[in-house]
């Protein structure tokens, strides 16, 4: 099916083997993907485009595919390298004005009407009369310009950015300005999740393999190979999430060589394994019935994936794969003391927790969040941190993901040692009865933890599953036992002006969840209680610079009417008394009913600096929570009725 799309995606005559990839072909692909809501069609356009890139790259060229993939997911490098786009509205408005000769006022008025700066840029370009056709844009040129913009910092960086953007826009034709501007904003908004791009890479590789074989493949053979390729690429990327390494390996060693060449490597953080929430000990026992499991303290700190390379270099990475080595120089310094002889390279999965140096007691996350985030000097550190290791993913040259947790835990304890106040193993208990779990849960809370993590210990069900929220890890938090279960991580998309004493700040906020499939934010509730004056002031300071003229096109608003809209960036953790169906909000619309789901009596818990807007809770999780709550209510009323 992908091959039948070639005429639509290709630009006729202007793209020969060995040419740099024309940006026009990518922009065309984006517009085709954007124009359809059908997943299969989206996938086939992307696959076709990537296949063309592979076929028209000259021998040995791996950059064309690499840069094309990066532009499709709107990134410029692996996450941990920290080079990001996300240029503010005012700078873009200025650049559009400069490159098209229109006034700032006219552009702002257009933006108010359209709500999409990409579209405004495209329309501004189209209304401009030009004498000469500019030289066509290429993927390498656009990619290197975007990188240059993202990497320019310091004094004169604003002017430099405007100048590069102006140059880019001046060379745009047809649709190109729309997608260049959206890329610069940080969101393509074509309804194209990263995993679809990964799948398209795998499928394009298969189609190329098929063409290159010169033989006819029957339908069954093709279908089986497509599925196999998707599994290979997904699993390789989850172990080694770096396109810089995976794409060249795919082109050079082919699909079958990929697994041997691309394995978990210290220095490249993997996306951590996550847990499913459970509401009661009974539920844990139901799920793990008859299997060996362990309960560990769920520490209330910040996830830290600690990497040590063979040459002794240490890297500390966040839950989001951000490099935190500059935030935790003390952890880096402490590390050698907890390594036993014979331990060289490794990857630890751990939680960094603030501790009171006087009595060694654990302190809550709020303490930890008082630490500076960048360029911390060890001598200035006030809040001390102890690392609690709960998993070992790599040791002395060997990935351990496919060993059981029991084996990984043994290796962890063999190769590391506790150092008071600096390093310890997550406290665990392998007790299996409700009473044992209950008393361990109480003990964990008494010691300042959030509750327990319950994990499978044996068989392949206990292998480490990168980037998955797995049923083989369950979390049992003290808060759940009373409420609806897990807290939610929601994006602040709008604000309501305060009243009375609160007129200089926002008094309430509109929150949204994030649907990674459709790349859209879905509104879920208004939150306005539980904030101190101080908190409101601090939220105001963070959110004011994110105010935008009109709601962004990727926010599914429903009936909500905040006074101002924000760039969706800030994530808050929120608890709720329960969930209800709502005619106003759009979260999880269509999953349970036509109506959306909203939170009743939402309560602000904390800012989640370690999560980006894309990591916010998704609609499936919300629908699952709603259904679980309904189920519990039915069960409850049956019990009351003597059932
Ligand atoms: P939460 O808001 O509960 O931290 P999350 O989405 O960040 O949720 P979950 O998988 O739901 O992640 O919960 C696991 C988190 O708990 C880990 O990311 C880690 O930071 C923390 N944690 C603390 N102790 C442990 C432990 N013993 N094992 C695994 N994770 C732990």
Read off the pLDDT of residues 478-512 as tens digits, 9 standing for 90 and up.
765 554 457 899 999 999 998 877 778 999 999 99
The ligand 1 atom nearest the CA atom of 573: 2
What is the CB neighbour count within 10 angstroms for residue 337?
10
Locus of tokens 């599994």: 231
pLDDT, tens only, 248-281: 999 999 999 999 999 999 999 999 999 998 878 8
Kindly report the protein residue whose alpha carbon is nearest to atom 1 of ligand 1: 487
Pocket of ligand 1 (CB under 6 A): 272, 274-275, 296-299, 303, 319, 351, 390, 426, 453, 475
Task: Give Cα 15 distance to the centre of its chain.
Answer: 34
Q: How far apart are CA 582 and CA 626, in angstroms?
A: 12
> Which H or E element spans position 317?
strand 314-317
Which backbone phi and psi does 577 adopt, to 5 degrees? -75, -45
Phi, psi of 511 (to 5 degrees): -110, 155
* Partners of 454 in beta bridges: 295, 474
Region of residue 76 (left: phi > 0; alpha: psi -120 to 50; beta: else): alpha
Give 308 Cα–ligand 1 centroid separation in angstroms.
22
Contact 625, 335 (CB under 8 A): no
Q: Which residue is catalytic, options 42, 125, 178, 298?
A: 298
Span from the CA of 318 to the centroid of ligand 1 (angstroms): 12
Residue 502: predicted pLDDT: 73
Q: What is the pTM of this model?
A: 0.81
pLDDT for the residue 637: 47
Give residue 275 CA to ligand 1 midpoint distance, Å.
7
Please, which residues have CB within 8 angstroms of residue 506's CB and are 6 or more apart in sequence? 495, 496, 497, 498, 536, 539, 540, 543, 563, 564
Please name the residue that has the structure tokens 């501004």. Answer: 124
* Whole-complex ipTM: 0.96
**What is the pLDDT at residue 369?**
87
Burial of 481 (0-12, 13-18, 19+ CB in 10 A): middle
List the Cα angle 191/209/216 in 5-degree steps.
Answer: 110
Q: Counting atoms of ligand 1 from 1, which one is nearest the CA of 300? A: 23
Residue 129 known to be catalytic:
no
- In this predicted model, what pLDDT tens digit does every residue of 137-189 receive, in sequence order? 999 999 999 999 999 988 889 999 999 999 999 999 989 999 999 999 988 88
- Cα-based distances in Å from 110 to 104, 107, 173, 186, 188: 10, 5, 20, 20, 19
Mention every residue, 6+ apart, whose C-beta is less than 8 A from residue 348.
305, 306, 307, 387, 389, 391, 392, 393, 412, 416
Q: Across residues 287-305, what is the average pLDDT?
A: 94
Answer whether 543's CB lies under 8 Å from 567's CB.
no
- Please state, in angstroms and rounded to a whole number, the distance separating the CA atoms of residues 266 and 310: 8
């Amino acid at each position: 099916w992908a091959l039948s799309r070639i005429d639509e995606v290709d630009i006729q005559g202007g793209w020969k083997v060995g040419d740099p990839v024309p940006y026009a072909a990518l922009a065309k692909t984006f517009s085709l993907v954007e124009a359809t809501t059908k997943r299969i069609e989206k996938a086939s356009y992307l696959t076709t485009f990537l296949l063309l890139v592979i076929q028209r790259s000259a021998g040995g060229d791996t950059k064309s595919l690499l840069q094309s993939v990066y532009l499709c997911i709107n990134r410029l490098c692996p996450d941990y390298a920290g080079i990001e786009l996300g240029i503010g509205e005012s700078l873009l408005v200025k650049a559009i004005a400069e490159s098209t000769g229109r006034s700032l006022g006219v552009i702002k008025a257009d933006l108010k009407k359209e709500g999409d700066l990409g579209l405004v840029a495209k329309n501004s370009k189209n209304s401009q009369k030009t004498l000469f056709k500019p030289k066509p844009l290429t993927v390498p040129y656009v990619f290197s310009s975007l990188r240059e913009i993202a990497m320019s910092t310091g004094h004169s960086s604003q002017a430099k950015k405007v100048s590069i953007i102006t140059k880019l826009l001046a060379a745009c034709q047809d649709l190109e300005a729309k997608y260049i501007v959206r890329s610069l904003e940080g969101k393509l908004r074509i309804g194209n999740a990263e995993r679809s791009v990964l799948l398209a890479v795998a499928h394009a590789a298969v189609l190329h393999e098929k063409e290159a074989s010169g033989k006819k493949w029957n339908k069954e053979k093709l279908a089986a190979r497509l599925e196999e390729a998707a599994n290979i690429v997904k699993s390789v990327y989850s172990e080694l999430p770096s396109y810089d390494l995976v794409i060249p390996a795919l082109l050079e060693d082919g699909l079958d060589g990929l697994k041997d060449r691309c394995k978990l490597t210290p220095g490249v953080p993997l996306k951590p394994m996550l847990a499913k929430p459970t509401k009661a000990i009974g539920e844990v026992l139901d799920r793990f019935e008859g299997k060996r499991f362990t309960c560990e303290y769920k520490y209330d700190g910040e996830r830290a994936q600690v990497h040590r390379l063979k040459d002794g270099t240490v890297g500390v990475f966040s839950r989001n794969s951000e490099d935190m080595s500059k935030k935790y120089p003390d952890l880096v310094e402490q590390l050698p003391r907890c390594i036993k002889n014979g331990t060289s390279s490794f990857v630890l999965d751990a939680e960094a927790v603030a501790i009171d140096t006087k009595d060694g007691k654990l302190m809550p996350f709020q303490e930890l969040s008082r630490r500076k985030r960048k360029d911390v000097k060890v001598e200035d550190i006030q809040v001390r941190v102890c690392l609690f290791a709960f998993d070992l993913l790599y040791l002395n040259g060997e990935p351990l993901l496919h060993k059981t947790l029991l084996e990984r835990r043994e290796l962890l304890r063999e190769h590391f040692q506790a150092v008071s106040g600096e390093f310890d193993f997550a406290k665990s208990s392998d007790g299996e009865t409700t009473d044992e779990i209950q008393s361990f849960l109480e003990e964990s809370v008494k010691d300042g933890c959030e509750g327990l993590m319950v994990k499978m210990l044996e068989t392949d069900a206990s292998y480490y599953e990168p980037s998955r929220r797995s049923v083989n890890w369950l979390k049992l938090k003290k808060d759940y036992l009373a409420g609806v279960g897990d807290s939610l991580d929601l994006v602040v998309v709008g604000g309501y002006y305060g009243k009375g004493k609160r007129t200089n700040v926002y008094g309430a906020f509109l929150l949204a969840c994030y649907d990674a499939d459709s790349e859209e934010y879905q509104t879920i509730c208004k939150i306005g209680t539980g904030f101190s004056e101080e908190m409101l002031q601090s939220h105001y300071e963070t959110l004011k610079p994110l105010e935008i003229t009109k709601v962004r096109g990727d926010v599914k608003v429903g009936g909500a009417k905040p006074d101002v809209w924000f760039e969706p960036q800030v994530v808050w953790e929120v608890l709720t008394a329960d969930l209800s169906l709502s005619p106003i909000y759009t979260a999880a619309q269509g999953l349970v009913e036509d109506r959306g789901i909203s939170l009743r009596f939402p309560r602000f818990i904390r800012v989640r600096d370690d999560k980006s807007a894309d990591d916010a809770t998704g609609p499936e999780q919300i629908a699952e929570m709603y259904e679980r709550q309904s189920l519990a209510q039915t069960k409850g009323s049956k019990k009351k009725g003597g059932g």
